Amino acid sequence: MIHFDDITSKTVDLYSILSKSLRKSLARTEFTIQVIEEADSEIQEANLLIEEVFPSGEAEEYKPSYVLGSNENGLCLACLKRGILLGCISVSFDLEEKAVAIHSLAIDPKYRAQKLGSVLLLSLHDVCHELGIQSMSLISSEQGKGFYQSFGFKEMALQSYETRLPFSKRVVRKKISDFNHIHGKDKALPEDERIRKKHTREDKSEYSTTFFNRHKRHKQSKKEANTSSAVEVVNPFY
């Protein structure tokens, strides 16, 4: 049986956890999915990505370094291409309750609509399956709800979204098919020739498809579900 620490310490190969269909799809491309830790060089690149895609003053609590440092069971998965970080998802697990909360999911602006967010969420889904996690939750703005609902998330209260796990087989097949349709021949994007080196991100005024969860407010939102109070949610520019 695989334990959470086996995944975060990279004792277990992440690709041994991913579904066969997802591994096969990734193998046709130059994209890779990997676990990143606080000590890894990629963590700074992930932090810079969060700074780039979140409005000024809102980014700190969504950075992978913050999520990992403030949660005992935090995890960050990153999507890279030729060593360049293009996206990341940061979450925290409640292993006793068999639940996971998404804190942030961000994709490089130049790679929006490439289904990388879906691949990261599917990768997280496979990790959850291995750990016996039964539910996934987050808080998002109105702009992000279409993405989440396409995975089966239901809006609960105060822009809070939850779903039972695993995702339906139909949803998984559809998401992988969409990714394959775009990347089946792994065509190089125009931006590839101008892709930035690590730690040198530009055009910070351009925002990507960003999905996030204010986990600290998530439990509060459940308590306030029958009240008129609201949770402040950052516009993800979905």
For residue 61, tell me if it sits in a domain: yes
Beta bridge partners of 80: 32, 85
Helix axes 116-131, 20-27, angle to 10 degrees: 150
The set of residues, in sequence order, having a beta carbon less than 8 Å from that of 73 and lying 6+ positions away, is 4, 92, 93, 94, 95
Contact 42, 76 (CB under 8 A): no
Helices (H), ranges, 28-144: 42-53, 64-70, 116-131
User: Is residue 151 in some structural domain?
Assistant: yes
**Residue closest to 201 by CA, chosen among 67, 53, 43:** 53
Q: Is residue 229 part of a domain?
A: no
> Does some domain include residue 231?
no
* Domain housing 184: 4-223
Residue 238 falls within a domain, yes or no? no
Helix ranges restricted to H, 133-214:
145-149, 169-183
* Number of structural domains in the chain: 1
CATH code of the domain containing 111: 3.40.630.30
Residue-level pLDDT, tens digit, the chain, 238 residues: 899 999 999 999 999 999 999 999 999 999 999 999 999 999 999 999 999 998 888 899 999 999 999 999 999 999 999 999 999 999 999 999 999 999 999 999 999 999 999 999 999 999 999 999 999 999 887 878 999 999 999 999 888 999 999 999 999 999 999 999 999 765 444 444 434 444 444 444 333 344 444 444 444 444 444 333 222 233 333 3
Query: Which three-class secondary structure state does DSSP give residue 164?
Result: strand
Tokens of 203: 């055009």
